[in-house]
A and B are shown apart, each in its own frame.
Chain A
């Protein structure tokens, strides 16, 4: 039976009478990095604490290779599971080498003292964590980032099969964050099973194979970073607006967040944007932060506006690159424009391919035209676009990107509907 895993089955964890997390199911296989993300107090550290046997579940089971964790001695657990704690106390008196050698304790017990082999293992661990030059320094005299790497060296000297890390990159600068995350990644690639609580959602999405998103002590979402890190999930769990720029191929995710919340009392207003060619990027970002629900009308694949729309979790009507707008897309575009509280036409250049977008805009209840540049300068249809645009302009509000926020507020005031009609 191949059984290389650390598993939680239906686990509830509490401190005293207070339940911290409930019904947690997760499994760490060797060779895999699992990230736990979630707001402060969502139970990340508590789960890690239970996974190394320091907190006994009040319900459910924790298994190491099929054996219940509670039945193993502390030494036996420490030989299999290594932990890098979040804010550990390291007494100043110890040198880095002594600290790293502590990792050998579970392999030695009371009677044996460290042999050359143990020293050798500690040496390699220090090299791997790049702290060998600090060997004789006292831990009281090294920086926070160096301490973090010393802790990693210590856990490597422990030679565990599973590695638990509690926010290993907090207190580190950007370079060291990346170094530590890459080191952890390479450890998993060489066969360790890793689970880490990660503060930074972008880093988590980039370096983890699977993510567990916690909310209020429950698993809110679990899966690959692409599935878990979405603007919608992040908003629901963290309560912030997020723009997720993801490269599905490389798994490189960049998450921008903003605190602004939807302010409208009568629910989220829907804005349909007519964009293209990158003209709507800034507009969409501004609107998103203001808390509007966005859709965007017909874009070609590969358009900059499209990646922004996806990052914001906005629905987009899409056609193939350089293709004309087909009937189905046009229909959907018109539906969205008609449903929206306001349809916004960005500062788009118009050609034969996207002329239909202007027609779709005509069905909107309220219209807002952004003309930073006059339509004549971006009309590549020989006058057709200008004609349509003037037609729209007759019943629309016009503004520029800088004044977008105020204009939208005005236009969305309830009485404006009747005025416009």
Chain B
């Protein structure tokens, strides 16, 4: 029969297309990893003091055990690259990765393309915490961190907690309720922050923080954020397939075996913890969490198993580039990185949208 003859070819075609689909995306991940390394290198060489790219590579390579390529490089250059630029670049990468991953997670969870990491009021809470820390007459340090990130982190989590509490209906967490409660909570916190700001002397410092900046980054922050972020990302990647199924309506995903409420809770919690940490160190940098997942989706499609890691890498690359621009473009002065992300991000996003529109229609 014809059907029996055509069946194997049909089936092998299907298998082949699946293999190609995965391979293409795995290659993309590898390419982005390489790109990240290159971007880190280039960003380390750029700045007020020009450091040749070859010097940067020698400095970076000498980190590898048993490799000594750093002889003959002056201590000043070494300090500039390894102690001033590199922690800042790495932190920008970590924060970009965190925001983009959290943004992709929120967009998937809420099935809402406008969701971003700040949708549940974390940024506004963190902002309030940071402002309070600025206004306090004393300063405390713990684990190498100053009071600003600590209070920002605490307030960010508390405000997200209140939002969850408000949105909760019995044992379920309706998505619309979360978004509404988040927006309302965010507005309230922003109002309080503005009130405090008007009465403050350190307006410039606070404003820079609120717009987002890496000017105070140090290795301690990198050491804290890196393992923390890795743990969060593992959890998010683990739940990428249920997240795919949750693009269906809730009844369907449950009928297909997804424990929707549990996945929602775990992913919201993880994404919130990641966001809170990122915001605490760098202020509320806008646009990364919104546009990076969208850009990735437009290029590689909406499969969360690839969307999430690709967003992580793209977010890191993007924020490193943005921060490099922010600190070099009007050197020796600096722009807040949030201004750069918005200035570059928005047109790029519009371009992608326009491209895609031409393809579809």
Contact = CB atoms under 8 A, between A and B. Distances in A.
A197 to B, nearest CB: 15
Contact of A110 (B239, B247, B248, B252): B239
Interface string B156-172: 00000000000000000
A162 to B, nearest CB: 12
A77 B252 contact: no
B103 interface: no
B245 A102 contact: yes
B258 A89 contact: no
A136 B20 CA distance: 13
A278 interface: no
Interface string A78-108: 1101110100111101100110001101101
B309 to A, nearest CB: 14
Interface stretch (A116-124, A317-325, A392-400): A116-124
Interface string A180-199: 00000000000000000000
Contact of B248 (A90, A111, A123): A90
A52 interface: yes
A120 B259 contact: no
B253 to A, nearest CB: 9
Nearest to B3: A127
B247 A91 contact: yes
A54 interface: yes
Interface string A153-172: 01000100000000000000
A347 to B, nearest CB: 56
Interface residues of B, number: 29
Interface in B3-37: 7, 10-11, 14-15, 17-18
A74 interface: yes
B255 A75 contact: no
B239 A74 contact: no
Given A97-B14, A110-B239, A120-B11, A74 B257 contact: yes
A74 B254 contact: yes
B interface secondary structure, majority: helix
Given A106-B257, A110-B242, A119-B15, A94 B251 contact: no
A73 interface: yes
Contacts of B254: 53-54, 74
A340 to B, nearest CB: 54
Given A89-B249, A102-B244, A119-B18, A132 B10 contact: yes
A404 interface: no
A53 B242 CA distance: 18
Nearest to A135: B14
B247 A94 contact: yes
B301 interface: yes
B238 interface: yes
Contact of B255 (A73, A78, A114, A127): A78
Contacts of A114: 18
B301 A93 contact: yes
Contacts of A74: 254, 257-259
B10 A105 contact: no
Contacts, number: 81
A89 B11 contact: no
Nearest to A87: B249
Given A77-B257, A78-B257, A85-B251, A105 B14 contact: no
Contacts of A78: 255-257
Contacts of A83: 252, 255
B256 A52 contact: no
B241 interface: yes
Contacts of A127: 7
Contacts of A158: 256
A22 to B, nearest CB: 22
B241 A89 contact: no
Interface in B230-244: 238-239, 241-242, 244
B299 to A, nearest CB: 13
Contacts of B111: 91
A174 to B, nearest CB: 25
Contacts of B247: 91, 93-94
Contacts of B248: 88-91, 102
A105 B255 contact: no
24 contacts: A54-B254, A78-B255, A83-B252, A85-B251, A85-B255, A88-B252, A89-B248, A89-B252, A90-B248, A91-B111, A91-B247, A97-B14, A98-B303, A102-B245, A105-B257, A105-B258, A106-B257, A113-B241, A114-B18, A116-B15, A119-B14, A119-B15, A123-B14, A135-B14
Given A78-B255, A119-B18, A136-B17, 4 more contacts: A75-B257, A105-B257, A105-B258, A110-B241
Top 6 closest pairs, chain A to chain B, by CB: A78-B257, A106-B257, A83-B255, A75-B257, A89-B249, A93-B302
